[in-house]
Every structure is written in C-alpha cells, then in structure tokens.
Amino acid sequence: MTADAAYAELIQRTKEAAVLASCGAVLGWDERTYMPHDGSAFRGDQMALLARLTHEMSTDPKVGELLASIEGTSLVANPESPAAINVREIRRAYDRAVKLPKELVEELARVTTRAQQAWQEARSKNDFPAFRPWLEQIVQLKRREADAVGYKEHPYDALLDEYEPEATAAEVRKVLSALANELVPLIAGIGQSNRKPGREILERQYAVDAQQSFAKEAAEALGFNFRAGRLDVTTHPFCSGIGPGDCRITTRYNPRFFNEAFFGVLHETGHGIYDQGLVAEHFGTPLGTYCSLGIHESQSRLWENQVGRGRPFWEHFYARAQKAFPAALADVRLDDFYFAINEARPSLIRVEADEATYNLHIILRFELELSLLTGDLKPADLPGAWNERFTKMFGLTPPDDRQGCLQDIHWSMGGIGYFPTYTLGNLYAAQFMNAARNQLPDLEGDFSRGQFGRLKAWLNEKVHRPGRSYRSSELCRRVTGEGLQHGPLVGYLREKFGRLYDL
C-alpha cells in the first residue's frame, strides 16, 4: 500500500469515527433540550453504544498500521503540510486512546455516570460526605489514567493534555500565579471604591419572549448563522457543533435577571462562531477540529466579554434593549446600564462571577486539583481546604459546601484538568483582541455601529481556519506575535475596571 493510499484510508476511517461521534452529539443535544422525561434510561444505552463503537473505530489496530506506513514517507516530510498535520494529530489521539486499558475506560464511564447523580443529590442536600466516596474513586481512576498515559513532570500534565494538548501544569501555574498577583490588588481596589453600580436595574421584569428575540438578534449580528444553527432552551447551557451546517446553541431564561440568558447566549455564540468557522471539508480530521478547549473558550469569552460587555457594543444595542424591555429600561441611562452589567465583586459562585474575580475561582480549583491528584490533599479534607483558601483569596467564607466545593459538576464527570482552560480562554481572548485592535483600525467604531463582520472575518482566518494545525500557544504566537501571556488580560481588566470604579 502506498503512503497516499494509506493516508486516504486513514482519513476515511478518521472521518467515519467522527461522523459516528456526531450522531452522539445529536442525541446529547436532544437529551438536554427535548427528550421526554422517561427516555433517560434508554438514552444512556444509546449513548454508551455509540461511545463504545466510536472508541473501537478510533483504536482499531488498522489505524496504527496505516499511521506507521505513512510516517517517515515524503508525504509528511513538510511538517506544515495538511497531511503531516493530520497524521501527527491522529497519531497523538491514537496513542493516547490505545494507552488507556479498555477496563479503565469502562470503569471511568460507569463511575462518572453514577457520580454525577450522586453529586447532584449531594449538592441539593448540601451533603459532601455522600459525595466523598465518589470523589475518592474518581481521583484514583484519574490518577490511573495519568499513569497509563504517562507524563514527564506532573501527573496533572497527562490529564490537562486531553483538553489543552501539550500544556503542562508548570506552565499553567506560572501564568496563573502571575495573574493572581495582579488580580488580588485590583479586586481589593474595586472593593474599596465608593462607586457602586445599581444591580437592581438588571433584576426588573424581562419578559422571556423579548429576551429570546433580543438575544437572537444579537447572536445574528455577531455572526452566528441561524440557517446552519439553532437556539434552544436547556438547564445547563452549552454549544454543540454537530457537524458541517449544524451547530446548536442553548440558554436558559430568568424573567427577573437580564444577564443570565443574554450573556449566556453571547458566550455560546462565540463557541458557535468558532465551530461554524471550521473548514467543512476537513470535518472529522484534525485540520477541521478546534485547536484546544482554551482556544474554544477564548472565542466564547471574546464575544461575551471583550465585545458584548464593552461600551461600544451597547452604544449600538442599548436603544434596542430599551425598546425590547421598555418597562425595565426606559428610565435607565446607558452608562448606568453599562456599569450594572459590569459590576465586579467577590462572590461565592464561579458561574455568576464577573470578569475580574472569575479567574480567582479557577486558580483555586486548579491548585486543589493538583494536590488531590498527588495525594497531598485527601478528598475528605476538600471542604476545609476549599473554605480556607477561598476566604484568603476572596475575603468571604462559603456558608455551606453547596456554595463551596460542591458547586461545580466537573469533578463528578471526571473532568480534572478542565478548569484551567476557562482562564486560558480569558488570557487568549485578551491577547487576540489586542492583536485585532492593532490590525483592524477603529474596530470599536464598528461595534458602536452594530458591525462585527471585520472582527469575525479576522477570527475566521487567523484562529478558526487553522483548526488543530498548531498547539494553542503556537497559534497565539502566530496570531499575536507572542505566546501565552498574563499581561494583556491584566491590562484590559485594569483599564476597564479602573475607569468604571474610578481607581
């Protein structure tokens, strides 16, 4: 078999596994939007079968043989050629997948499914001891996963690698520490400021219908293509890029709080614009796949925060908001509204946090994950460790575990290593946005006229179309001239909150 023929078959098999996985994405979307109540157990059977078949396809020894007969040939001699990129990344995923014993994969699937239910119950009853044995099992299993995959320095690296290829705990720790050092005084300054926004503005009556059409209008203006997508209601909002021509975002509406649905939609819109910006013909192969979770998150944060919580955006949209919600906003000035949606203050819940304090929530989780994985922190001691660090960082103590270490679903899903990608997203978003402002004159002028096409086209070209051609830090270097940095995010936050809080 020639390398060309082997490559063609490799790509066909890779795409086929991706098509099968995408069937699971449709079922997953349906499960979280329209599936009838009693369908849940059977949906579990369907998802498990699709996951098993997809895994079998991806770990078929034939894939290894095909890779071996391509590697080292002239077809992949140029490391920047499409074939070389695809082969390198398929090899990476294949090696990781075959290193994991089937028994461990199934055990993880079984335990995390049940642990999520246990977590849900434990959270609602504020009963950490009920969740503790599950967390213990999960930490052990993830540690076994890390050992099976292998790592140079820290077992965490092996887990992080799944979400943020080749990033390491040491690198992440370095940038997060630098970030924390700058954020703590900034947040203290905000706390001491005499200026306070009127949060009550956002807690007036916002009719769900009007929220829906206003959010859809904004998503469409930013560039989400509704002929190739949808917006539906769910409990825990997400974006699902099912495949070419089919990307779905979701939200939930709170008739007494403006931010929840609106900024949620902008966030998912950012994910959606990324998915819609991937190259369709490469669907299912690394060239048509997102770069990393950090980069994916950079796109949601960029549109949600850098654009959607910016003043220029509201210079265009505020009159429309007043029209959509006359009872709530008729008597509110743009500046007051703008200040209210950008209120910064230490709070207990990560998903409700503002742009400035948000990253401290991530740093806390990242540090705890590291200690859990090495065994320096026992799961039984998690609530105490959480509350102690939280108090130190935020000057607030969680009154219960529900508002402390039980608030997030991630650990129950086995997602140790996932949290830092949120802050990586914030960091990359600030870096990308600085570069965009430099390269596209008067970009904020566009926003104030409701025009987002130049920014979207720039992101499509620079960030989306390369797919998984580069590691996230390398992509960042190519787009901005620099690797991952904490400076741009700090600069952006200082400038924005300095102005709002008169620091």
- 20 contacts its own copies (rule: CB under 8 A): yes
- 281 contacts its own copies (rule: CB under 8 A): no
- 68 contacts its own copies (rule: CB under 8 A): no
Phi-psi sector, 168: left (phi>0), alpha (psi -120 to 50), beta = beta
Among 30, 71, 136, 482, binds its own copies (CB under 8 A): 30
- 343 contacts its own copies (rule: CB under 8 A): no
Scanning 27-35, 98-106, 113-121, 126-134 for contacts with its own copies by CB under 8 A, the matching segment is 27-35
Scanning 13-21, 95-103, 213-221, 253-261 for contacts with its own copies by CB under 8 A, the matching segment is 13-21
Q: Are 134 and 412 in contact (CB under 8 A)?
A: yes
244 Cβ neighbours under 8 A, 6+ residues apart: 280, 283
- 109 contacts its own copies (rule: CB under 8 A): no
Rg (CA), the chain: 23
Among 79, 152, 227, 330, binds its own copies (CB under 8 A): 227
Spatial distance between the Cα atoms of 272 and 124, rounded to a whole number of angstroms: 31
482 part of the active site: no
Other Cβ atoms closer than 10 A to 438: 11
Catalytic residue among 145, 164, 260, 268: 268
Among 50, 293, 363, 416, binds its own copies (CB under 8 A): 50
Give the residues across from 243 on adjacent strands. Answer: 246
- 32 contacts its own copies (rule: CB under 8 A): no
Total residues at the site for its own copies (CB under 8 A)?
A: 38
The secondary structure of 37-94 as a DSSP string is: GGGHHHHHHHHHHHHHHHHHHHT-HHHHHHHHHHTTSGGG-STTSHHHHHHHHHHHHH
- 59 contacts its own copies (rule: CB under 8 A): no
- Minimum distance of its own copies from residue 70's CB (angstroms): 24
- Minimum distance of its own copies from residue 224's CB (angstroms): 11
- 237 contacts its own copies (rule: CB under 8 A): no
- Long-range pairs for 219-222: beta carbons < 8 A, 24 or more residues apart: 219/249, 219/265, 219/266, 219/269, 219/272, 221/450, 221/452, 222/266, 222/269, 222/270, 222/273, 222/303, 222/307, 222/308, 222/452, 222/456
Residue in the block written with tokens 């699937």: 109
Among 35, 97, 207, 334, binds its own copies (CB under 8 A): 35
- Minimum distance of its own copies from residue 106's CB (angstroms): 16
Other Cβ atoms closer than 10 A to 60: 15
- 36 contacts its own copies (rule: CB under 8 A): yes
Among 2, 12, 40, 81, binds its own copies (CB under 8 A): 40
- 43 contacts its own copies (rule: CB under 8 A): yes
Token reading at 359: 């990253």
- 503 contacts its own copies (rule: CB under 8 A): no
- Minimum distance of its own copies from residue 227's CB (angstroms): 5
Spatial distance between the Cα atoms of 250 and 272, rounded to a whole number of angstroms: 10
β-bridge pairing 246-251 and 229-233:
parallel
Query: Taking Cα atoms as reference points, which of 376, 408, 379, 382 lies closest to residue 135?
Result: 379
Among 2, 5, 34, 333, binds its own copies (CB under 8 A): 34
- 23 contacts its own copies (rule: CB under 8 A): yes
Q: Are 391 and 397 in contact (CB under 8 A)?
A: yes
Among 12, 39, 124, 191, binds its own copies (CB under 8 A): 39
Binding site for its own copies (CB under 8 A): 16, 19-20, 22-23, 26-27, 30, 34-43, 45-46, 49-50, 53, 225-230, 232, 242-248, 283
**Active centre residues (catalytic):** 268
